[in-house]
Amino acid sequence: MEVIIRPDTARAVRLAARLIADTVKMKPACKLGLATGHTMEAVYAELGRMHCEQKLDFSLVRTFNLDEYIGLAATDPNSYRYYMDQHLFKCINIDVRNTFLPDGMAADEIAEGQRYESLIRDAGGIDLQLLGIGSDGHIGFNEPISSLASRTRAKALTPATYLQNSKYFTPPEAMPKRAFTMGVGTIMDAKRIVMLITGSAKAGIAAKAIEGPVTAMVTGSALQLHPAAVVILDQAAAGMLTQTDYYNWVFANEPEWADYR
């Protein structure tokens, strides 16, 4: 795992967007794993800007999102399909037929999990997976005690997630209590992982995921077992890390990061 701390949120966001953009430039038909949530809105705005100003070309890219609420149709403004259309897909030249999310209205939950796994596998796997982290440490909707080997499936959400996300629903009680999510095992199969964490509210859980034990209680900690995971934080989210001097030293000296400093 590599940990990169940027002085402010804008620079953390720009670095995450650049890593995605560079993957698209290097491999135009790449497969991107995408995330939703408040943190990612700025990343998608930056990718939209790069498409408009630098002609960043998404025409051959395929995307697979982490999760979708069970019971919400694609047309529901609170669905993650709707979020992706609004924040990214309508702002870039991606073929919408190349964009995939679990189907929140699928009648057979087991079959839907298997269908989604097959889609990813048949596409040749995910080149870069973008992740946020929930206040309870989740990646995707892999809530505490999710198996670290789990695959795409239906998952009950925790009260912490309900608290974090119900504010986006009107009324808040309209938020579904279950979701389809890629499993931790699905996420870990991605060739590269980029996690973005911003804001002081995430400082405690960021420290647990990065420097704490690998545990199903904090599924984000599974990234410690991934061969190519980068965690990008702003100063506020990095506030409770203990080894910041070391992380900064690596970023300042590793040749891999020369173009990104």
Would you call 136 a catalytic residue per the annotation? yes
Catalytic residue among 46, 51, 67, 68: 67
Catalytic residue among 143, 189, 226, 234: 143
The distance of closest approach from Cβ of residue 244 to ligand PGA in the complex, given in angstroms and rounded to an integer, is 22
Beta carbons of 254 and 25 less than 8 angstroms apart: no
33 binds ligand PGA (CB under 6 A): no
Beta carbons of 219 and 137 less than 8 angstroms apart: yes
Which amino acid is it at 254?
E
104 binds ligand PGA (CB under 6 A): no
97: which 2 tokens?
């037929």
Beta carbons of 232 and 1 less than 8 angstroms apart: no
Binding mask 232-261 for ligand PGA (x = CB under 6 A): ------------------------------
220 binds ligand PGA (CB under 6 A): no
Q: Which of 27, 38, 167, 261 lies at the binding interface for ligand PGA (CB under 6 A)? A: 38
φ, ψ (nearest 5 deg) of residue 147:
-60, 135
Burial class of residue 259 (count of CB atoms within 10 Å of its CB; 0-12, 13-18, 19+): exposed
User: What's the Cα-to-Cα distance from 260 to each of 56, 199, 219, 252, rounded to whole Å?
Assistant: 18, 21, 28, 10
Would you call 108 a catalytic residue per the annotation? no
39: which 2 tokens?
């943190």
The distance of closest approach from Cβ of residue 2 to ligand PGA in the complex, given in angstroms and rounded to an integer, is 20
β-bridge pairing 153-156 and 178-181: antiparallel
**Segment holding 165, helix H or strand E:** helix 159-165
Binding mask 44-83 for ligand PGA (x = CB under 6 A): ----------------------------------------
Residues 124-143 that bind ligand PGA (CB under 6 A): 132-134
Catalytic residue among 51, 87, 138, 226: 138
Would you call 117 a catalytic residue per the annotation? no
Q: Which of 39, 63, 129, 186 lies at the binding interface for ligand PGA (CB under 6 A)? A: 39
The distance of closest approach from Cβ of residue 162 to ligand PGA in the complex, given in angstroms and rounded to an integer, is 11
146: which 2 tokens?
């999710």
Beta bridge partners of 154: 180
Residues marked as catalytic = 67, 136, 138, 143
> Where along the sequence are the contacts to ligand PGA (CB under 6 A)?
37-39, 132-134
